[in-house]
Amino acid sequence: MSRLVVVSNRVAPVEEGKSQAGGLAVAIQEALKSRGGIWFGWNGDTVEQTPDAPGITQNGRITYATLGLLQRDLEEYYNGFANSTLWPLFHYRLDLAQFSGRTYAGYQRVNSLFASRLAPLLRADDLIWVHDYHLIPFAEQLRSMGLEQTMGFFLHTPWPAPEILGALPAHEALVRNLCAYDLLGFHTEVDLRCFANYIRYEAQGTVEELGAGQGLRIGAFGRSVIARAFPISIDTATLEGIARQAADTAQMRRLKESLVGRALIVGVDRLDYSKGLPQRFESFHALLDAYPANRGQVSFMQVAPPSRSDVAEYQAIRRELEALAGHINGRFAEFDWVPIRYLNKSFSRKALAGFYRHASIGLVTPLRDGMNLVAKEYVACQPPEDPGVLVLSRFAGAAKELDGALIVNPYDIRAVAENMQRGLTMPLQERRERYEAMMKVLRANDITHWRESYVEALSGVAGQA
Ligand code: GDG
């Protein structure tokens, strides 16, 4: 069996038994463990001089190969083109996207650097699986060095409509870069369709349907590539177990005591402008306005660990949310009740599972999201006999699968408030039916299914070569 080589911006070695690790890191780890292979990428450090070779750590059948980056590289590649151009653009925020030749050059340079450092470690029959928008040019950089291995890419963000992508000066080069892969994975059929439309109408390429669930054969820029939707998921069974255990911890007892019987609404998101947090806070405000019986009776807890704090837009959204939470709490708080508990810090996976389980509503209202794993985690953590209700944005990839949720338009503040009210008052029977429908999906498509179907498709492509 050929080895798997995973490439991602950050490499996250998972220590056995550490419940902190996220589902994706564990999934990649498991895929590598079962075939043996390499996980290559940035180690999170900045260095004075770019190393000639990656640092190597061996753990069983997995080799971790990681590099530090120069401050300038990090600034241009990571904070710059990846997080100040592609991230806002892929989330339909043209107003926030910065277009700079300097950061684009840095992005290409770091991709070329990564490729040159990985190349000496590769074998001819390796399957290479590259993750996310930081590394779109990676395959083309390897190909320019004469490497012909089977290469797959998975995009964790949405893929935008051609009209949005077209705003990027380098849009054609970027899609040409993508076509150097053999397999392209997106979260949803919507992303896949947006990509196919670019190929048809902007790149004058060909798009052939391969049959149910098999994706598309794309012909463009002199290459033939398979593009397909692989909706990412969670480790459903493990999370169910963690949530059962989490129900009875000291932390959960403290939470329950602090709520004194009040209902809890929970949100968990990286502090990011794509997650629709200001609109969400406004919706909670609207709930208290429109349904005053909830005052003093419902608490909204938003966990929002800061992320990408070196990027100015992330500092701005943090200030905006602080002001909004202060405003809403100032208006409605009583001496014994605070409406919004706004927490700029992270919690263990087990603590989060307990929060989800105890919450009557999981509020997941991004303005755009590739998938959104929190929506899936919230459902998996519910007590089956008395489950809560998921209120989910139509703009999250997860909405395509979780139709047992109350699907909302996050821009429609009043409608989100009405759906929260509907969730808070929903009869048990309906809550159970919705929960069961969603769990059926989450049991069938869990993270193991996701990574196995991707790796199987990648091997399939390799078999045809
Ligand atoms: C990107 C795409 C796509 C959050 N706070 C804490 C914590 N988390 C965990 C959650 C969840 C993960 O982080 C976040 O995943 P999401 O999918 O919700 O969102 P992004 O971070 O934006 O992820 C997204 C995903 O990639 C996978 O492809 O679904 O669309 O944007 O697992 O639980 N985990 C811990 N403490 C926290 O405080 N331990």
Each residue's pLDDT tens digit, 186-233: 999 999 999 999 999 999 999 999 988 899 999 999 999 999 999 999
Element housing 120 (H / E): none
pTM as predicted? 0.96
pLDDT band of 463, cuts 50, 70, 90: confident
Domain extent listing, the chain: 4-233+447-464, 236-444
- Kindly give the number of the ligand 1 atom that is closest to the alpha carbon of 158: 30
The pLDDT of 438-451, averaged and rounded, is 96
**pLDDT for the residue numbered 18:** 52
For the segment 284-320, what is each residue's pLDDT rounded down to a tens digit? 999 999 999 999 999 999 999 998 888 889 999 999 9
Class of domain 4-233+447-464: alpha beta
- Kindly give the number of the ligand 1 atom that is closest to the alpha carbon of 375: 18
Q: Is position 125 annotated as part of the catalytic site?
A: no
The active-site residue out of 134, 156, 187, 285 is 156
Q: Is the pLDDT of residue 243 over 80?
A: yes
Q: Which residues contact 172 (CB under 8 A, 6 or more apart)?
A: 202, 203
Q: Is the pLDDT of residue 21 over 70?
A: no
The pLDDT of 401-406, averaged and rounded, is 97
> Which of 368, 372, 381 should be mutated for ligand 1, with most atoms under 8 A from CB?
372
- Burial annotation 112-127 (CB, 10 A radius, 16+ → b, else e): bbbbebbeeebeeebb
Q: Is position 156 annotated as part of the catalytic site?
A: yes
pLDDT band of 185, cuts 50, 70, 90: very high
> Does 236-444 match 4-233+447-464 at the fold level?
yes
Q: Give yes or no for a contact between 62 and 30, defined as CB atoms under 8 angstroms apart.
A: no
For the Cβ of 132 lying below 6 angstroms from any atom of ligand 1, the answer is no
**pLDDT for the residue numbered 252:** 93
Give the least confident one: 170-179, 227-236, 243-252, 384-393: 243-252
pLDDT band of 34, cuts 50, 70, 90: confident
Q: Which residues contact 371 (CB under 8 A, 6 or more apart)?
A: 156, 187, 188, 231, 232, 396, 397, 398
CA–CA distance, 2 with 127 (Å, rounded to integer): 7
**pLDDT for the residue numbered 19:** 46
Q: CB neighbours (10 Å) of residue 9?
A: 19
Q: Is the pLDDT of residue 436 over 80?
A: yes
**pLDDT for the residue numbered 26:** 78
> Which of 86, 157, 371 should be mutated for ligand 1, with most atoms under 8 A from CB?
371
**pLDDT for the residue numbered 24:** 78
Q: 236-444 — its CATH code?
A: 3.40.50.2000
Q: Is the pLDDT of residue 83 over 50?
A: yes
Nearest partner of 8 among 118, 90, 100, 109, judged by Cα = 118
For the segment 139-182, what is each residue's pLDDT rounded down to a tens digit? 999 999 999 999 999 999 999 999 999 999 999 999 999 999 99
Q: Is the pLDDT of residue 334 over 80?
A: yes
